[in-house]
Structure 1
Amino acid sequence: MSAYRQTFIEANGIRLHMAQQGDGPLVLLCHGFPETSHAWRHQLAALAQAGFHAIAPDLRGYGSSECPTAIEQYTTLDVVGDLVALVDILGERNAVVVGNDWGATIAWQAALLRPDRFRAVAALGVPMMGRAPMAPSRLFPQTDQAWFYTHYFSEPGLAESEFERDVRATFRKIYFSASGDVGTRDANTPNPFGLMPRSGGLLDSLIDPPLLPAWLAPTDLDQFVRAFSISGFRGGLNYYRNLDRNWEMQSAFEGLLVKVPSLYLVGERDTGLAMPGMHEIIGGMPQFVPKLSASRVVPQAGHWLQQEAPDFVNAALIEFLREL
């Protein structure tokens, strides 16, 4: 695998770090939580070899990119603004935007709001959905004994304290527990992105694997640990602290459709599929994404799709890009 180039750029008033490789039509790769641009290491090389200019930024608050202080500076619109500015600074008219996890949400919104700048979109894991009937803080479940993980993440300082106590162990547990290596999921399978007891932390119930999954080399784990040991987890968690604000602002775009060519991929064992109604949401995507060219399930893969199943993802992305 060829080494990607690492550079910095000033965009939308903040300094962004990005990994890039290749020349040709621009493809932006947006990571999720907890990841950095390094999550796209396999795609950077494959897309470059296929004749594309692949760029994976550390999104604001992550890795070597700048971390704004205020929580309210981490809305979806802020990040879409970063991507628009990035395309401008690179001197390009438009780009294809690709995302996984939170990056998928951002990619969908970028294509929805700025089809003039994002000519196509590919999303991994998170489908395009309509606006929820109520704010996420009211929609996601919580009781006196348990709460949905987004409530835990939304409390400033709470998850940071737990995750930063042992960054390497945090990554081992979250990456393994949300991966396809756990096997077929049932109600007893530990899920880092589900309900959790109020009495402890998120990591308490997760498996600490004796060996790393085959898709995560020790040197790659080192990259993520090093990045979050420097940046901390606050920036990434601030995205969750804007869920209600994102929902409020979404009212201005109610009824808009994603009208650019689109691709959706999801791992067969993705943790998100355990959420009630998710299969129906995925099946109903064409009403929001009329140019959805394909919706594919990746066998035995989990939530970290581009890391777990790079050959499948690379082939699907390159086929999609060449058909544009």
Structure 2
Amino acid sequence: MQHRFIEANGIRINIAEQGEGPLVLLCHGFPETSHAWRHQVAALAAAGFHVVAPDMRGYGETDSPADPEAFTLFHLVGDMIGILDALGAPTAIIAGNDWGASVAWQAALMRPDRFRGVVAIGVPMMGQPPVPPTRIFPQTAEALFYTLYFQEPGVAEAEFERDVPTTLRKLLYAASGDAGPRVPGDGTPNPFGMVSRKDGLLAPLPLPNGLPNWLTEADLQAFVAAFARSGFRGGLNYYRNLDRNWALQAALKGRTVDIPALYVVGDRDVGLSMPGMRDIIAAMPTLVPGLEPPLFLEACGHWAPQESPERVSAAIIEFARRHST
């Protein structure tokens, strides 16, 4: 696996790259970098694909524009198109986890001419809500939903950057399958749930004595070094554009994802404990007519490419082989 910089969509993007053949583009989530796809890059390259995993806009060694409004889904999809253009690739299979899944869905929706298929992990395709998202998320006098906690610039950054290794250990463990099965309302600490206005997001999350078996110390340090360099501002700016995305996406209302699609989710993903999430997954075929049967990964949490690398790699390889010609 090699790393290099390319110029795309007006910014400099750091990519991890390996292999030759049809292009597969891998989009990571929050808080990750291209390193989250380390297993898939090797496996897909060995299977005969040209694999590219960028540090997404605002992460790792990729540029992080100063303007928070430069982090909409339209900018992020533009980055993916820019990567294809820089590589001279007319089309690609696109896959994403967490926020990367949102980028992948929108890339498939906006540019079916450039993407032959889409694999989304964790985050399902969702329709346009009737009001801006920040008006839907819950809050009380004592706590607010994590996406609302992320809205005020500097607040979450201050908490997360105080001790980057501890922040990442807590976030990665608490959203993983190692934290246990998720039952709505069971009180299990959830990094993507309600946040105390007084104590912040990290305080209630457990700090594991050791690392889970899917994350080595070297892997953790790769993430720590990346966020020590970039900070968390870029990744948090994705959340600060939720309402702006909603307004811009009004132009796409009524469109469906008409390319082949696969949805993969760990059965211990924290997202599945959110009210109504399983109903959203069941209703996806109305938005994604070419959706294949969803794949649920047993005993796997939110970081499926890292937690269940063989199963995720096999699913992407099988899908890409069917849709790369």
Find the aligned partners of 1:130 and 1:177 in 2 and give their Cα distance. Answer: 28
Find the aligned partners of 2:316 and 2:67 in 1 and give their Cα distance. Answer: 35
1:68 has 2:59 as partner: no
**TM-score of the superposed pair, with normalisation by structure 2:** 0.98
Find the aligned partners of 1:99 and 1:242 in 2 and give their Cα distance. Answer: 19
Per the TM alignment, residue 145 of structure 1 is displaced from its structure 2 partner at its CA by 1.1
Amino acid at match of 2:24: V
Q: What does residue 116 of structure 1 align with?
A: 113
Amino acid at match of 1:99: G
Per the TM alignment, residue 262 of structure 1 is displaced from its structure 2 partner at its CA by 0.4
- Local SS of the residue matching 2:16: strand
Equivalent runs, 1:41-52 vs 2, <5 Å: 41-52=38-49
1:250 has 2:235 as partner: no
Q: What does residue 152 of structure 2 align with?
A: 155
Cα deviations across residues 199-251 of structure 1 (Å, max 9, x unaligned)?
11100000000010000000000000000000000000000000000011111
Find the aligned partners of 1:159 and 1:11 in 2 and give their Cα distance. Answer: 29
Q: What does residue 53 of structure 1 align with?
A: 50
**TM-score of the superposed pair, with normalisation by structure 1:** 0.98
Large movers: runs of 4+ above 4 Å: none
Q: What does residue 39 of structure 1 align with?
A: 36
Contact 1:262 1:294 in 2 (8 A): no
Stretches of structure 2 that go unaligned for 5 or more consecutive residues are none
Amino acid at match of 2:293: A
Per the TM alignment, residue 57 of structure 1 is displaced from its structure 2 partner at its CA by 0.3
Q: What does residue 26 of structure 2 align with?
A: 29
Q: What does residue 266 of structure 2 align with?
A: 267
Cα deviations across residues 171-191 of structure 1 (Å, max 9, x unaligned)?
100000000001112321100
1:290 has 2:295 as partner: no
Find the aligned partners of 2:318 and 2:55 in 1 and give their Cα distance. Answer: 26
Find the aligned partners of 1:323 and 1:55 in 2 and give their Cα distance. Answer: 19
Stretches of structure 1 that go unaligned for 5 or more consecutive residues are none
RMSD (Å), alpha carbons? 0.6
Per the TM alignment, residue 294 of structure 1 is displaced from its structure 2 partner at its CA by 2.5
Find the aligned partners of 1:263 and 1:91 in 2 and give their Cα distance. Answer: 26
1:77 has 2:74 as partner: yes
Find the aligned partners of 2:209 and 2:56 in 1 and give their Cα distance. Answer: 31
Amino acid at match of 1:211: G
Per the TM alignment, residue 125 of structure 1 is displaced from its structure 2 partner at its CA by 0.1
Amino acid at match of 1:293: E
Per the TM alignment, residue 119 of structure 1 is displaced from its structure 2 partner at its CA by 1.2
The count of aligned residue pairs is: 321
Contact 1:97 1:107 in 2 (8 A): yes
Per the TM alignment, residue 198 of structure 1 is displaced from its structure 2 partner at its CA by 1.1
Q: What does residue 225 of structure 1 align with?
A: 224
Find the aligned partners of 2:248 and 2:159 in 1 and give their Cα distance. Answer: 31
- Taking every aligned residue pair, what percent have the same amino acid on both sides? 60
Per the TM alignment, residue 13 of structure 1 is displaced from its structure 2 partner at its CA by 0.5
